[in-house]
Amino acid sequence: MEATQEQPFKKTDYLLLFTVLTISLALIYSFLRYNRRKKDNKDTEQVVNQGHNDDLLVLDNIKLINENKIRQLLIDWQSNLEEVQKKRDSETIYEWFLRINGPLEVLPIYDKVRYGQQEYTQSEYLLISSKLNRDK
């Protein structure tokens, strides 16, 4: 009688098991590495953006405050005008001032502050204020 002993695993079974484990470990490693890089990039962006944005916000707020003073003068002036003289939505400020014979001297200063993102001087502010108050 021949005694046959079967091996619980054949060579091909070991090879298949090794291949499946290797692929599984490679996928897990890739997934963890991807997530770690993604998290590191977010942290780096936050640090970089936070450092720069603080400075930019301060500068932007200063410019907006100054810009808004000039614009506020025009808004206040417009609120005192009759309804037919108020600026229409479709008009540019130039068209509006030409239509109502507004003080054209204020437009270069307004443009400089509004669109050129530059500062105005105290004398320019006083000029706009006096021109607008004279036309009330």
In this prediction, residue 95 carries a pLDDT of 92
Number of residues in the chain: 136
In this prediction, residue 100 carries a pLDDT of 92
Instruction: Spell out the domain ranges in the chain.
Output: 11-134
Other beta carbons within 10 angstroms of residue 67's beta carbon come to: 19
E runs forming strands in the chain: none
User: Measured between alpha carbons, how far is 68 from 74 in angstroms, rounded to an integer?
Assistant: 10
In this prediction, residue 50 carries a pLDDT of 55
Residues in the chain predicted with pLDDT less than 70, given as ranges, are 1-7, 43-67, 135-136
Tell me the one-letter amino acid at 23: I
- DSSP code for 88: P
In this prediction, residue 136 carries a pLDDT of 54
**CB proximity list for 119: less than 8 A, separation 6 or greater:** 63, 66, 113
pTM of the model: 0.48
**Backbone dihedral angles phi then psi of residue 39, each to the nearest 5 degrees:** -65, -45
In this prediction, residue 118 carries a pLDDT of 80
Q: With contact defined as beta carbons under 8 Å apart, do 124 and 116 qualify?
A: no
In this prediction, residue 64 carries a pLDDT of 53
E runs forming strands in 20-65: none
